[in-house]
Amino acid sequence: MTDISELIRLATEARDAAYAPYSNHPVGAALITDAGDIFTGCNVENAAYPLGSCAEQSAIAAMVLGGGRTIRELVVVGPTDAPCTPCGGCRQRIREFAGPDTLVHACNERGVLLTMTPGELLPVSFGPENLK
């Protein structure tokens, strides 16, 4: 099992590679799948704001490309000491690939600031089972 400090280190490295010239709010994410594979992502902004991508979105896309489908644990590191929690769109993306016991950690470089489950992130959520 991967130590949370390793996920924080990787998310911090991803954050440091982010492209955030408009918001000046670089974010990095690192996730580990149920198979133990690790994927990272950073936010990438665009002058046409809706075309940017979030760090969580980037990490999830890398996971899917790598064959992963289930997030076991996710770390998000923002630019300040305040918890950087996923936006609404990313909460829905996390919900798509997370189980009820998945842990989502908002961190700074030194450690975990806040830990949530998908149910706490997005209560009464809409998911794949609603389409059956």
Which segments are annotated as binding site? 43-49, 54, 87, 90
Would you list which residues are annotated within the binding site for Zn(2+)?
Answer: 54, 87, 90
Q: Catalytic site residue 56?
A: yes
Binding-site residue numbers for substrate are 43-49
Distance CA 75, CA 108 (A): 10
Handedness of CA 116, 118, 121, 124 (dihedral sign): negative
Q: Which of 6, 13, 56, 129 is catalytic?
A: 56
The C-alpha atoms of residue 33 and residue 24 are separated, in whole angstroms, by 29
Give the chain's end-to-end CA distance (angstroms, integer).
Answer: 34
Quote the tokens at residue 41.
């992502």
Give the torsion sign (CA, 130, 34, 65, 48). positive
Task: Please give the positions annotated as active site.
Answer: 56
